[in-house]
Amino acid sequence: MTHMQTDRRDFLAWTGVVGAGVLLGACADSDSLVAPSSGLVAKKNDALSVVTVRGPNLPAGLNSDTDILKFALFLELLEAEFYKAAVASDILRGKVLEVSTNVRDHEICHVTYLQTALGGMALEQDITFDFTTVLRNEHKFLDAAETFEQTGVGAYLGALPKISDKNIRSAAGTIFTIEARHTAAFRAMNKRKDPAPVAFEVPLSAAVVLGRISPFVVEGL
């Protein structure tokens, strides 16, 4: 094993993404890490990379805690389905598969929390995602994973100051930190020079987030 490989392994362990990881309390029991039937039971086609789930209607703006929860759930559904499809495919190997499986379980936990918080509003429409272009090989997967996670970090950072309810704000802050760890881990596996390149993160507006994810949304925007 080379010195670089050792450094990358140690970094991934430090982020908490490898191994047991950090899950929200609602998913603390690893035996329960399955897609909840209310929202992640998907009508999939044979390609596996195209999936339809039930999700929230996207709000016109982030003007309330409910709007923010809906927007967050939409993004988390995209991430959860992306990792579910990737892990079930044959394109990931070794440490990338191990980390991605752990990240998949984190994202399912995030979805579960947001669905619970929204109740019936979590299941308002069919949303179809198409990951065909980014699940062709491991390299394309890693690029997409890094982009999705970095987008999640910016989205949560942009939304946090707007959240009124302290319990929702606390949960969102927790998810924000996990998304940041995911980003650093995928940057390391992508062999970026610096897995954590900046001292201060940049918040993203809803419009910027939608611009980044819209190429992967066939139905639901």
The residue-averaged pLDDT of 52-66 equals: 92
Whether domain 38-219 has CATH 1.10.1060: the reply is: no
CA 132 to chain centre: 17
Q: Is 155 helix (H, G, I), strand (E, B) or coil?
A: helix
The residue-averaged pLDDT of 159-177 equals: 92
**What does the domain layout of the chain look like in residue ranges?**
38-219
Neighbours of 127 (CB within 10 A): 24
DSSP type of residue 203: P
The residue-averaged pLDDT of 159-181 equals: 92
- pLDDT grade for 221, boundaries at 50, 70 and 90: confident
What percent of the chain shows pLDDT beyond 90?
66
- pLDDT grade for 27, boundaries at 50, 70 and 90: low
In this structure, of 62-76, 103-117, 141-155, 178-192, the range with the lowest mean pLDDT score is 178-192
Q: Is 127 helix (H, G, I), strand (E, B) or coil?
A: strand
pLDDT at residue number 200:
73
The residue-averaged pLDDT of 104-108 equals: 93
Please tell me the distance from the alpha carbon of residue 111 to that of residue 117, in angstroms, as a whole number. 10
The residue-averaged pLDDT of 130-139 equals: 94
Residue 176 Cα distances to 94, 158, 160, angstroms: 26, 10, 9
pTM of the complete model beyond 0.85: no
Where on the phi/psi map is residue 136: left (φ > 0), alpha (ψ -120 to 50), or beta? alpha
pLDDT at residue number 60:
86
